[in-house]
Homo-oligomer: A and B are copies of this chain.
């Protein structure tokens, strides 16, 4: 079994209201940053896992996203998987 790291991004879908993003945008403007047009806040999830191959790791991570990490009604996910040096 080899070790892989999956970087998963879970973001609210574009049409879903994002109050956290609006709050961050307001905070940045209050701090004097200009030119901010939009801020969206989502989750970044790093998963270290063992799998027989990169394809198998990808399949497992996609299933994790669908079953637990992302709410498909309001969120989109994307991820990339990379091999780690074995410990």
Residues of A bordering B, CB below 8 Å? 1, 3, 9-11, 21, 24, 27-28, 31, 33, 35-51, 60, 63-64, 67-69
Between-chain CB contacts (< 8 Å), 27 pairs: A3-B37, A11-B44, A11-B46, A21-B45, A24-B69, A28-B64, A28-B68, A31-B64, A31-B68, A33-B64, A35-B49, A36-B47, A36-B48, A36-B49, A37-B48, A37-B49, A37-B50, A38-B46, A38-B48, A39-B45, A39-B46, A39-B47, A41-B44, A41-B46, A42-B43, A42-B44, A44-B44
Q: How far is the CA of A33 from the CA of B67 in the complex (A)?
A: 11
Q: Which residue of B lies closest to A50 (CB)?
A: B35
